[in-house]
Chains A and B, each alone.
Chain A
Amino acid sequence: MLDLHGYGGLLFEGAKLTIYVGVSSMIIAVFLGLFAALCKISKSRILRFLAETYTTIIRGVPELVLILLVYYGAPTLLQDILAFFGKDVYISINPFSAGVATIGFIYGAFATEVFRGAYIAVPKGQIEAAKACGMNGILTFRRITLPQMWRFALPGLGNVWMVLIKATALISVIQLPELMRNADIAARATRKPFTCFFAASLFYLAITIVSNLFQQWAEIRANRGVRRA
């Protein structure tokens, strides 16, 4: 059906890297989101302000601008700062780290909102009960709040993942040989841009479908303790 002139393997390699980039960024996003959500609900004003600023700024700036800012801007900024102190060095970031760090950092902001909502959804009575049993803050969080937060957070995290995996296509702009970049290479070599990009889009669709199935399975598993009418 789709004649890729032997470039199917290249696309497949790209798809593997796309998933690798996606999973790595998602791990960063989840930890960052959890941490920032804790900051948002903490009693400390400074932490709340910092977390609020983080989510407000990240959600207001396009991913592409942030990726370009990190990949091209961060090294020159560091060089300028070091030059100010009289040190002349050359810094560069590899596309993989820049991409994963930026995508993780961006979707950490979206995960923050998901986790904050999930934390609020855990009934207050349970936290009081944990306190009454003599658990301290960290222990309550680890034993009572966190395990239940996952259940409320899963649908939201699933959405974050779906948007994140599509956003990884932007890293092709900084030449990381993921799916989109490899499709571009194949398109130039075969002079069949439509075929190549369409094939790439089918890879993305496949990832979306598999993620959907996984999300359904995870939600059923997370809710197995809930009684339904």
Chain B
Amino acid sequence: MDFQIIIESIPRLLDGTLVTLQITALSILLGFCLAIPLALMRVSKNRLISVPTYGFIFYFRGTPLLVQIFLIYYGSGQFQEFLSQVSLWNFFKEAYFCAVLALTLNTAAYSAEIFRGGIEGVPYGEIEAAKACGMSGALLYRRIVLPKAIRIAWPAYTNEIVFLLQASSLVSIITLMDITGVARVISARSFAFYELFLFVALIYLILVYGLLFICKRIEKRLTGYLNFQH
């Protein structure tokens, strides 16, 4: 085993780790902002709203993330003229933008289903009580339904965050230099395949279980009042 090569490549792998974390954080944040409206549209009684939303969710959950990344990154090239006209081409030619867009849409679809489960899991008595207090519409959702729904959905959402962190390794396929990307480039040059990929696996393990630890702490915060001990 060639430890020298690992030690030499630690700085570059750390840069890669930053890219991985950055892409994951951006996609989670944007995906969350999309997922809540999507979940609300999904449970809407208006079929003109709920059916297209379901179609979007079904497509992004039913196809591999790799296809989605390729569709956006390589597929946008087919519409280069149109995209240039509406001055969006500068975004779509950047691998970073395409990667974040694909991951965002993907996680939005999965999270929307998770939050839908949460919204449907809110006890009806709480909604009734809120209505009795005179709340309705946006106020009811903001104060009662969404906070409860997010608490219910949090453990499942935690899994989604971890999956997204792991899925972000796919961006290395479209030339981005995340942890996996850095390892692929260095190993292709030095032939130190197993040394590097084992080390990269270790980095991911630390990131994943670190993230899980943080999410568990947040879960305790969110549901603290339920675990109160006399």
State in angstroms the CA–CA spacing of A77 and B198 once bound together: 11
CB-CB nearest in chain A for B79: A194
Q: Are B204 and A60 interface neighbours, CB within 8 A?
A: yes
Interface pair A63/B166, CB less than 8 Å apart:
yes
A201 near B71 (CB under 8 angstroms)?
yes
Q: Is the CB of B63 within 8 A of A204?
A: yes
- B198→A64 contact, CB < 8 A: no
Tell me whether B198 and A73 are in contact (CB under 8 A): yes
Interface contact A205-B59, CB-CB below 8 Å:
yes
- Quick check: is A149 within 8 A (CB to CB) of the other chain? no
CB proximity of B190 to chain A, nearest CB, Å:
11
Contact between chains at A60 and B209 (CB < 8 Å) = yes
Which B residue's beta carbon lies closest to that of A167?
Answer: B64
Query: Is the CB of A16 closer than 8 A to any CB of chain B?
Result: no
Q: Is the CB of B201 within 8 A of A65?
A: yes
Residues in chain A near residue B170, CB distance under 8 A: 64, 170
Interface residue from A69, A72, A201 paired with B63 (Cβ < 8 Å): A201
Q: Report whether B194 and A74 are in contact in the complex, using a CB–CB cutoff of 8 Å.
A: yes
B53 at the interface (CB under 8 A from A): no
Judge if B213 is at the interface, Cβ distance under 8 Å: no
Contact indicator B194/A169 (Cβ below 8 Å): no
Contact with B along A126-169 (1 / 0, CB 8 A): 00000000000000000000000000000000000000001111
Contact A208 B62 (CB under 8 A): yes
Which among A69, A167, A169, A201 is the interface contact of B197 at CB below 8 angstroms?
A69
Asked whether any CB of chain A lies closer than 8 Å to the CB of B96, the reply is no
Establish whether residues A197 and B75, one from each chain, have CB atoms under 8 Å apart when the complex forms.
Answer: yes
Known: A193-B75, A195-B78. A64 touches B180 (CB 8 A): yes
Residues B197 and A180 in contact, CB atoms below 8 Å apart:
no
- Counting CB contacts under 8 A, is B50 at the interface? no
- Once A61-B166, A68-B184, A72-B197 are accepted as A-B contacts, the answer to whether A80 and B1 lie under 8 Å apart by CB is yes
Are B169 and A64 interface neighbours, CB within 8 A? yes
Residue pair B169, A204 in contact (C-beta under 8 Å)? no
CB distance from A217 to the nearest CB of B (A): 19
Distance between B186 CB and nearest chain A CB, rounded to angstroms: 12
Q: Which residues in A have their C-beta under 8 angstroms from that of B172?
A: 64
Nearest to B76 among chain A residues (CB) is: A194
CB neighbours (8 Å) of B166 from chain A are 61-63
Cβ of B70 and Cβ of A184 under 8 Å apart? yes
Alpha-carbon distance between A61 and B58 when the two chains are bound, in angstroms: 26
Nearest to A70 among chain B residues (CB) is: B197
CA distance A5 to B125 in the complex (A): 58
* Inter-chain contacts of A226 with B (CB < 8 A): none
Looking at the complex, which one of B1, B67, B169, B180 makes contact with A201 (CB distance below 8 Å)? Answer: B67
- Select which of B75, B187, B191, B193 is within 8 A of A198 by beta carbon: B75
CB <8 Å contact, A166 and B65: yes
Q: Are B194 and A166 in contact (CB under 8 A)?
A: no
Q: Which of B62, B67, B68, B193 contacts A76 (CB 8 A)?
A: B193
Question: Which residues of B169-184 have CB atoms within 8 Å of chain A's CB atoms?
Answer: 169-170, 172-173, 180, 183-184
Rounded to whole angstroms, the CA-CA distance of A208 and B62 in the bound complex is 6
How far in angstroms is the closest Cβ of chain B from A193? Answer: 4
Assess whether A24 is interfacial by the CB under 8 Å rule. no
Residue of B58, B64, B78, B180 with highest tally of chain A CB at under 10 A: B64
User: Is A187 engaged at the interface, CB distance under 8 Å to the other chain?
Assistant: yes
Q: B67 and A197: CB pair below 8 A? A: yes
Interface bits A89-113 vs B (CB < 8 Å: 1, else 0): 0000000000000000000000000
Closest 8 CB pairs of A and B: A73-B194, A194-B75, A169-B64, A193-B74, A69-B197, A62-B169, A62-B166, A72-B193
Chain B residues close to A by CB (< 8 Å)? 1, 58-59, 62-68, 70-71, 74-79, 166-167, 169-170, 172-173, 180, 183-184, 187, 191, 193-194, 197-198, 200-201, 204-205, 208-209
6 of the cross-chain contacts (CB-CB < 8 Å) are A68-B180, A68-B183, A167-B64, A194-B74, A200-B67, A204-B62
